[in-house]
Amino acid sequence: MKTARISTTDVAYVEKGSGVPVLLLHGFPLDHSMWSSQIDALADRYRVIAPDVRGFGQSPLGIVDEVAGILMVQYADELAEFVDAVAVKEPFVLAGFSMGGYIAWQFVRKHDQRLRALIQCDTRAAADTEEARAGRIKMAENVAEWGSGRVAEMMGPKLFAPSTFEKKPDLIAAVRQVVERTPPAAIAAAQRGMAARPDVTTLLSTITMPTLILVGEHDAISTPAEMRSIAEAIPKAQFVEIASAGHMTTMENPTAVNDELLRFLGRV
Ligand code: MLT
């Protein structure tokens, strides 16, 4: 992987191909590898850039306010620094997955002049319920003692469609390994930031760029119904449901996701 220096850390990233830049932002508590299939599929025609968000994968966490964690808007501002650092000069396509999507909303809010188009996969526009927020804070407070392996156990069943569990044990193991390797401090910082994230529903009607909203048909975290309503609120959004996939669409049904991404990118 390459690295780029920003004010808070060194960002590790994969870069492949040339053309219009397409930036892929991973979810929690994962890394760029969840986009492996898309990186290969898009690189024939696009400059694909997939960073590890601060603290995840091979990007060091840097200094963090332990009480506040890292807000989604901070990650978004750091993404703006990162695209400058890797010399993305023209408007680019931003694809966010789940937590990457929460960051992408904030990027749209503050830096939309940098974007050509938006792809939001398996993410939400609503803030957390009180119960969900409490769960995140509990994890943030205890993950150092629990270890990241327990987080992998807690999250695993929610991430995949039942058929993936039955038929793709290697995929489940690969995701588990990524979660287990994530430092507890990065998990805590992101959980605190996600707990504090604002509801962005009112942002949706102001998004005028071409937008693709993509979700797995069995996604239990960001449901198809919720994502359809996000698409309906964005003027130029297209909604796509991916068959045979839960939350981890990019890994559970990469062929369908790649086809949809290439179709959308071909139009923008
Ligand atoms: C993710 O995949 O990034 C997480 O499920 C997001 C979340 O915890 O809300």
Q: Would you give the DSSP letter of residue 12? A: E
Which residues lie below 8 Å from residue 138, measured CB to CB, with a gap of 6+? none
Closest ligand 1 atom to residue 191 Cα is 8
pLDDT in tens, 53-73: 999 999 999 999 999 999 999
pLDDT over threshold 90, residue 157: no
Query: Which residue, 125, 137, 136, 117, is CA-closest to 101?
Result: 125
pLDDT at 109 over 90: yes
Pocket test for ligand 1, best of 28, 223, 250 (most atoms within 8 A of CB): 28
pLDDT in tens, 70-90: 999 999 999 999 999 999 999
CB-ligand 1 contact for 72 (6 Å cutoff): no
Taking the centre of ligand 1 as the mean of its atom positions, its distance from the CA of residue 98, in whole angstroms, is 5
- Ligand 1 centroid – CA 99 distance (Å): 5
User: What distance in angstroms lies between residue 186's CA and the mean position of ligand 1's atoms?
Assistant: 14
Tell me if 107 CB under 6 Å of ligand 1.
Answer: no
Helices and strands (DSSP H and E) totals, the chain: 12, 8
pLDDT in tens, 44-57: 999 999 999 999 99
Whole-angstrom Cα distance, residue 200 to residue 208? 15
| Per-residue pLDDT tens digits for 226-247 | 999 999 999 999 999 999 999 9
140, 112, 145: which is closest to 128 by C-alpha?
Answer: 140
Whether 96 contacts 102, CB under 8 Å:
yes
Return the percentage of the chain with pLDDT > 90, whole number: 99
pLDDT of 220 reads 96
Q: Which residues contact 133 (CB under 8 A, 6 or more apart)?
A: 195
State residue 156's pLDDT score: 86
Q: How far is the CA of 191 from the centre of ligand 1 (A)?
A: 9
- The three-class DSSP label of residue 10 is strand
Which atom of ligand 1 is found nearest the CA of 28?
3
This prediction's pTM: 0.98
Could you tell me if 125 and 201 are in contact, meaning their C-beta atoms sit under 8 angstroms apart? yes
194 lines ligand 1 (CB under 6 A): yes
Report residue 252 CA to chain centroid gap: 15
3-state secondary structure of 47: strand
Closest CA to 251 of 1, 12, 32: 32
Indicate which atom in ligand 1 lies nearest the CA of residue 26: 3
For ligand 1, pick from 221, 247, 248, 252 the residue to mutate: most ligand atoms within 8 Å of CB.
221
Which element (helix H / strand E) includes 148?
Answer: helix 148-159
Q: How far is the CA of 27 from the centre of ligand 1 (A)?
A: 6
Find the distance separating the first CA and the last CA of the chain, reported in whole Å.
28
Q: State residue 266 phi and psi, 5-degree precision.
A: -65, -25
Q: Whose CA is nearest to atom 4 of ligand 1?
A: 28
**Cα 28 to averaged position of ligand 1 atoms, centre (Å):** 5
Query: Do the strands 21-25 and 92-97 form a parallel or antiparallel pair, or are they unpaired?
Result: parallel
